[in-house]
Structure 1
């Protein structure tokens, strides 16, 4: 496994809609944990795809498309 996946991503800086740094420790903790979870899931899916013969760029393009098309799904922003 890649080294950066073994550590919690405490170094990440998160920004609000108005481009201000989010300073709440608990919010940062949750965002960092979610990020690490995404890294691990995407890495596992990527490894599976490569082992099953998928081209690496094809997989990466699909992940980029997925993130480009995300929409907020919990009601009003």
Structure 2
């Protein structure tokens, strides 16, 4: 698990590091936005009396159910 304050090293399918500054910037912005949305959603659920464990499991299931709409591109620069 990654601490929200520590940067993520984004990797390509072959394990090499994504080094393009703009790509890393977009990936980090997307991650931050998603984290904030999940935090707000979790807080709302708890304020409405939901089980934290059940909400977290629902979020995990949601992530696991998402199918990529594009293929990995090992040749992306």
Same-fold status (TM-score > 0.5): yes
Size of the aligned set, in residue pairs, is 68
Q: Which runs of 5+ in 1 are unaligned?
A: none
Question: How high is the TM-score relative to the length of structure 2?
Answer: 0.81
Q: Counterpart of 2:58?
A: 62
Q: Which runs of 5+ in 2 are unaligned?
A: 72-77
Question: How high is the TM-score relative to the length of structure 1?
Answer: 0.81
- How far apart, in 2, do the equivalents of 1:35 and 1:41 lie? 10
Runs of 4+ in 1 over 3 A off after TM superposition: none
